[in-house]
Chains A and B, each alone.
Chain A
């Protein structure tokens, strides 16, 4: 599927940046089933989404907004896992390009 690889690369880089800001025990794996919702605090979620927005724009030249995710239940939405968030980023990149 288009944008799967770019979305995955952006996610890995964003998690690496986020991990700089997290205490060692709380750092995230890039594995798809890594739980995000309920694990990251609100600032952690903001930092991850901001990093994703910026990296996607820098690397792919596509502007996506993810701030609407701050308004939804993180445990059931696209924020639930790394895999689901990556899929959302991929879809939004595709939508922004179409």
Chain B
């Protein structure tokens, strides 16, 4: 089943009508909320109606009778309560047979509940201490469940503050949370669904003057910028850089769009002693006097990242307005006028939520820097062939295995341009597809003398007697243009041939963004065309491997 989450089941132990209304009224959520009877959480989980996803939001006393007793200061062994948490997890597991994606909220207490006061975290009978144990148990038990995510409800409570919980609305209509708190939950659910569908933002383009540092470098000189030191503004700018650096470590690529003299700005980046972000932290930059919208388009093209994956941060409301108007796909958040609010504004963005953070994500920034160096070599040689030969390209294909399944799923769901069908699958669904005997799925890793691009490709092939079909042909744009595509087809064709297939077919499912796949199939693959979207290779012939590629194929998962 796909993860489009058209039908979102709402399971709650309270009146979720307002929650349902907020989802229904929010067109950007892209879901049709489906309510269940409140107060019947376990029943709803044991026999849920068909849905693409579920959001399960409960109060701890509704799931654990032991915790309910604890609220009345009865003595209840922690083990009893944790066993009830386990029963809740089993109910979630049961629902997964019908609902492929589960979003579960953690448990909170209302702000006014002080429990045992100073003993609440010390005593085994403390509410706060028990709730920590319950949430820890829930997180531990759900951690290895594919397509189950625990959302942090304590952040909704913190952000809504005393306005989040409402005894008045509880007594009036069994609504424990106000619309303020519900909206925060809706936003997090939307972010999670968006991330699972591959919609997370991957690129942050940031301004320099009065954004990355305080002051105008062209006027003041880099020595006089407000950055670090014992100054609230300088410290705030430096902490903002640290926050961006932290973001880059989880796979978000950083770039610069600034109206400045490039030499002056780069000198500041290289020379200012309190800069946290240096040249090597930025995958690309456009520092000139041109329109920033045009520069952002150039940066996105250079990095092969879509504008729909781009965020632009600038202190100047005119620049923000211009980019917002010109490039509606780019997310341009409102930005604080005071730099002391920059870190919070960045950390509050939910557009980076993704279902997994892989090693490839963490190394993404370094990969782009390597690509910049790679392209520099390209400019120094006479021909593309000479450049390709100089790369020392190694393509490694191996059957997908548990350790690579998460990254493979992520790649399948995020990749748009080189993607044969654009099909989106959950990790569980992909695993089930691979388990079928007629199917085979390889992950492809690519490296060269400049660096390791990591797991950047997928080839899925189905062989039924004499007919073989490429089902998934997915390649990250990071490695386009090095004939990795041809090496991947070589793997698919060799497998088809070894399995006795006479023909290897590739059927393109056109999407709004997979034109590069069409161009490869039509112009470079060597496949014969049976129409605009049907291509085939005669398996009696060897599919040639590009001469500059060293291919390492593993027949079994290592």
Contact = CB atoms under 8 A, between A and B. Distances in A.
Given A50-B172, A70-B172, A21 B22 contact: yes
B169 interface: yes
B173 interface: yes
Given A50-B166, A54-B163, A21 B18 contact: yes
B149 to A, nearest CB: 26
B25 A46 contact: no
Given A20-B25, A21-B25, A50 B18 contact: no
B407 to A, nearest CB: 39
Interface residues of B, number: 17
B17 interface: yes
A21 B21 contact: yes
Contact of A23 (B24, B163, B169, B179): B24
A54 B172 CA distance: 14
A43 interface: yes
Interface in B1-45: 15, 17-18, 21-22, 24-25
B175 to A, nearest CB: 8
Nearest to A70: B172
B22 A20 contact: yes
Nearest to B173: A46
A1 to B, nearest CB: 27
A53 B168 CA distance: 9
A43 B166 contact: no
30 contacts: A20-B22, A20-B25, A20-B179, A21-B21, A21-B22, A21-B25, A21-B179, A22-B21, A22-B25, A23-B21, A23-B24, A23-B25, A43-B15, A43-B17, A43-B173, A46-B169, A46-B172, A46-B173, A47-B18, A47-B179, A50-B166, A50-B168, A50-B169, A50-B172, A50-B178, A53-B168, A54-B166, A54-B168, A54-B178, A67-B172
A20 B180 CA distance: 11
User: Could you tell me the dominant secondary structure of chain B's interface residues?
Assistant: helix
A17 interface: yes
Contacts of A46: 169, 172-173, 175
B453 to A, nearest CB: 45
A7 to B, nearest CB: 19
A48 B173 CA distance: 12
Range for the number of chain A residues in contact with chain B: 10 to 19
Nearest to A47: B18
B95 to A, nearest CB: 27
Contacts of B183: 20
Nearest to B180: A17
Contacts of A43: 15, 17-18, 173
A23 B21 CA distance: 8
A75 B173 CA distance: 21
B186 to A, nearest CB: 10
A5 B25 CA distance: 30
A46 B22 CA distance: 16
Contacts of A20: 21-22, 25, 179, 183
Contacts, number: 41
Contacts of B17: 43
Contacts of B173: 43, 46
Contacts of B169: 46, 50
B169 to A, nearest CB: 5
A50 B163 CA distance: 12
Contacts of B18: 21, 43, 47
A63 B427 CA distance: 52
A46 B175 CA distance: 10
Interface in A47-98: 47, 49-50, 53-54, 67, 70
Contacts of B172: 46, 49-50, 67, 70
A28 B28 CA distance: 22
A23 B166 CA distance: 24
A16 B54 CA distance: 29
A67 B25 CA distance: 27
Contacts of B24: 23
Contacts of B178: 50, 54
Interface string A25-48: 000000000000000000100110
A42 B356 CA distance: 43
Interface string B142-170: 00000000000000000000010010110
Contacts of A49: 172
A47 to B, nearest CB: 7
A24 B163 CA distance: 26
A54 B163 CA distance: 9
